[in-house]
Amino acid sequence: MNTQTNTLRLLLLFPFLVFFMQAEGQSQYQFQVTKASGKQMVPTPAGGVYYALPKAIFKVSLIMEQVNEIPGPFAAYATKYLGTTDYMKTKKVYYRLLSVKVQPVTVADPAQVFYVRFPENRSSKEIRSFGLQLNDEGILAGFGPAPQPGRENMQPPPPAAPQSSSRMYLFSDYRKGFDMQAGYTRTQKVDTIVRKITIDTVTIKRFLYKTGWVNLTEEERADDAAKQIKNIRTSRFNLLTGYQEVNYGEGIRYMDVELQKLAHEYMVLFLGREYRQMVVRSFVFDPEKKALSGKLLQFTDKDGNTHTLNIKVRIINQMTKVAGKKTAGPDDLFYRIPVKAVISVGSGSNPFYSDTFEVPQLGVVTTVPVRKNTRLRLSPKTGALLGIDKQ
């Protein structure tokens, strides 16, 4: 009776013994991943480590042409002396957008940082088989037993995070003004003084000449500049038609070019001068699910219209049917399913620039289970799961 009772008890306890043995065996491999909240994690004898998922920020480089229009000092007399209405009437600064370049840069996502609590009560052999691969920025690149020598997944170091900046390059001489304005502005004035001397019935006129210098008025200076333009054109006509009847050879070409330059310098006194500069502006855009667009800058075009240059992100493969996870069970790791998006830069409905990029932070974060002797390979660029290798 006692033997049968003991046997029955052993049969009843056997499933529970198996369960606890399995649980004990599994507990040696269990680790727990929790999302970092900014608070100090509870210390354990085994310790732990932080890892992050990647995100993409975008460096936007704009090349713009800045045009400065400066009216000439004789602009008020351009119509009177040159017969033209096409001249610069007021000082104006406007811009033209020449080029847009968007460059992605991978960085650690501060919103997706996790803490891996290492398992306890593990043997030295099991500890050696436990591997966690991170890149230079603490982004998870793999998990599991270390890869064989020579088969490491070497990743190039990510570029440094860009900063906003602005640079300006001159491709016209901004210091050059109106050279012909610095001419001689005084003229000689001669006054005739007539003295009458009467002796008896004879009247004698004595002429005295008084010479002085006076400043030319602005209109007189404009009239003189217009006459110089006429003289230069006449000289150029005589040169090109062989008025001198002398074959100067290549000298004719040189003299013609110099006469054109001289005429141009007089013309800008009436028409105005234009300076052009190249401006390079750099911005950093960090797209998020709640911020898919941003304002870069405002600029004014030649007609005085103000344009606002915006950057916009449009997801093209939204993972609407993939459920994300905020918590992970034992032996689970967080990874990301990235998405692609069209990034456009422009003003209004017609973008000036448009291209497709991977934007990991707009994807879905979920978990993957890790089993014994299993190695996970993740992309340090997107956080996506690349493969599961059985060791």
Beta strands in the chain (DSSP E): 32-35, 48-70, 92-117, 132-134, 140-143, 165-170, 186-199, 202-215, 273-285, 293-300, 306-315, 332-346, 351-369, 374-378, 385-390
In Å, what is the CA distance from 387 to each residue of 29, 108, 377? 21, 21, 5
Nearest-10 crossing angle of helices 218-240, 250-271 = 160
* Residue 143: exposure state from Cβ atoms within 10 A (0-12, 13-18, ≥19): buried
267, 359: one domain: no
266, 304: one domain: no
DSSP 74-114: TGGGHHHHH----S--S-EEEEEEEEEEEEEEEEEEEEEEE
116, 184: one domain: no
pTM of the entire predicted model: 0.69
Domain that holds residue 241: 179-271
Last residue within a domain, chosen from 255, 271, 287: 271
135, 256: one domain: no
Q: What is the pLDDT along the chain (391 residues), one digit of tens a residue?
A: 555 555 555 444 444 444 444 444 444 446 788 888 877 766 666 678 888 999 999 999 999 999 999 998 899 999 999 888 989 998 999 999 999 999 999 999 999 999 888 776 555 445 445 677 888 888 888 887 655 554 444 455 555 555 555 565 555 554 556 665 555 556 656 667 777 777 777 777 777 766 766 677 888 888 888 999 999 999 999 888 888 777 777 888 898 999 999 999 899 999 998 888 888 999 999 999 888 999 999 999 988 899 999 999 999 988 888 888 888 888 888 999 999 999 999 988 888 999 999 999 999 999 888 877 778 888 899 989 888 887 6
223, 326: one domain: no
10, 42: one domain: no
232, 349: one domain: no
183, 196: one domain: yes
CA distance 63 to 281: 7
> If DSSP codes are grouped into helix, strand and coil, which group holds residue 325?
coil
363, 284: one domain: yes
> If DSSP codes are grouped into helix, strand and coil, which group holds residue 149?
coil
37, 23: one domain: no
Domain total in the chain: 3
Last residue within a domain, chosen from 256, 271, 286: 271
84, 217: one domain: no
61, 196: one domain: no
Last residue within a domain, chosen from 216, 250, 271: 271
pLDDT at position 136 is 83
The DSSP secondary-structure symbol of 291 reads B
